[in-house]
C-alpha cells in the first residue's frame, strides 16, 4: 500500500560515516513491516558485491546494479512501496526528477550518498536531492588524524593528499580514503 503522499529521505555524510548502514537499517525495518522494497545502486560500485549494497562494516542488502537513473523506472515493480538508491552521487542529474516522480507517485524513496567529493565540494545531484527531500540526515565519521567528528572525505595517493585537479570519481575504500575533520582535510592545488 502506497502512502497518500510520498516522501524523500536523504542520508549523507563523508565516507565511513555509516550512510549505507543507516540505509540498510531503514530497509530492514520496512521489510519487517512487510513493505515491498527495491534497492538500486550504480553498477560502477562493485567494491564488495555486484548485486548488494554493502557497508564498510559488512552489512548488506540485495540491490540491482544499474548504469543510469532511468533504469530505476524500467525495473520498478508496481507493488513496490519503498525504493532505495545507494551511492546516488554517481548518477546523472536525471536522478533528481526520477526520485521526485516516485515520491509524487506515493513511494517512500530513501537515498544515500556523499554530499561532498574529496575536494570538499558538492557532489553530483546530492545538493538538489537534499534541497528537495522531506528529511535529510547528515552523518559524521571520526577524523583519522585527531579523532574528532569528521565531515570530509580525504583521498590519499601513496599516502599523500590527492591534488585538486585529480579525477573526482575514483572508486575505493580505506585503501584510498580517510574521514577527516575540516582542520585536517587537505586538497593541494599546486
**Domain assignment present for 174:** no
Query: Is the predicted pLDDT of residue 3 greater than 90, yes or no?
Result: no
pLDDT of 172 higher than 70: no
Q: Catalytic residue positions?
A: 87
Confidence at residue 171, expressed as pLDDT on a 0 to 100 scale: 72
The whole domain housing 92 covers: 7-140
Residue at 55 is within a domain: yes
pLDDT of residue 46: 67
pLDDT at 47: 63
How many angstroms separate the Cα of 140 from the Cα of each of 150, 151, 181? 5, 5, 9
Under the banding of pLDDT at 50, 70 and 90, the label for residue 38 is very high
Assess if residue 172 is contained within a domain. no
pLDDT of residue 97: 98
Q: Is residue 54 part of a domain?
A: yes
- Rounded distance, CA 169 to CA 133, Å? 24
61 assigned to some structural domain: yes
- What is the dihedral sign for C-alpha 89, 43, 168, 171? positive
Cα-Cα-Cα-Cα dihedral of 97, 101, 107, 109, to 10°?
0
| Mean of pLDDT values over 61-81 | 95
> Percentage of residues in the chain with pLDDT exceeding 90?
79
Residue 126 has pLDDT above 80, yes or no: yes
pLDDT digits (tens, 9 = 90+) for 79-125: 999 999 999 999 999 999 999 999 999 999 999 999 999 999 999 99
C-alpha–C-alpha distance, residues 187 and 189, integer Å: 6
Q: Is 40 in contact with 66 (CB distance < 8 Å)? A: yes
Q: Is residue 2 part of a domain?
A: no
Full-prediction pTM beyond 0.85? Answer: yes
Sign of CA dihedral 58, 63, 69, 73: negative
Question: What per-residue confidence (pLDDT) applies to 52?
Answer: 79
On the question of pLDDT at 1 being above 60, the answer is no
Mean pLDDT of the chain: 92
135 assigned to some structural domain: yes
Stretch 132-138: mean pLDDT: 98
The set of cell numbers assigned to 98 is 526520477
Q: Tell me whether residue 159 is in a domain.
A: no
Q: What is the CATH number of the domain that holds 38?
A: 3.40.50.300
What per-residue confidence (pLDDT) applies to 59? Answer: 81
Q: How many domains does the chain have?
A: 1
Amino acid at each position: 500500500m502506497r502512502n497518500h503522499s510520498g516522501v524523500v529521505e536523504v542520508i549523507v555524510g563523508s565516507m565511513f560515516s555509516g550512510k549505507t548502514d543507516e540505509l540498510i537499517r531503514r530497509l530492514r525495518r520496512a521489510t519487517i513491516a512487510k513493505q515491498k522494497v527495491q534497492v538500486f545502486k550504480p553498477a560502477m560500485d562493485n567494491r564488495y558485491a555486484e548485486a548488494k549494497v554493502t557497508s564498510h562494516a559488512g552489512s548488506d542488502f540485495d540491490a540491482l546494479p544499474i548504469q543510469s537513473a532511468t533504469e530505476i523506472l524500467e525495473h520498478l515493480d508496481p507493488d513496490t512501496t519503498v525504493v532505495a538508491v545507494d551511492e546516488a552521487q554517481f548518477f546523472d542529474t536525471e536522478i533528481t526528477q526520477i526520485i521526485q516522480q516516485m515520491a509524487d507517485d506515493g513511494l517512500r524513496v530513501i537515498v544515500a550518498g556523499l554530499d561532498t567529493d574529496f575536494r570538499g565540494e558538492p557532489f553530483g545531484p546530492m545538493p538538489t536531492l537534499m534541497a528537495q527531500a522531506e528529511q535529510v540526515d547528515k552523518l559524521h565519521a571520526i577524523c583519522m588524524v585527531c579523532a574528532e567528528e569528521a565531515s570530509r572525505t580525504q583521498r590519499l595517493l601513496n599516502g599523500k593528499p590527492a591534488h585538486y585537479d585529480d579525477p573526482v570519481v575514483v572508486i575505493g575504500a580505506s585503501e584510498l580514503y580517510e574521514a577527516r575533520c575540516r582542520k585536517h582535510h587537505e586538497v593541494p592545488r599546486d
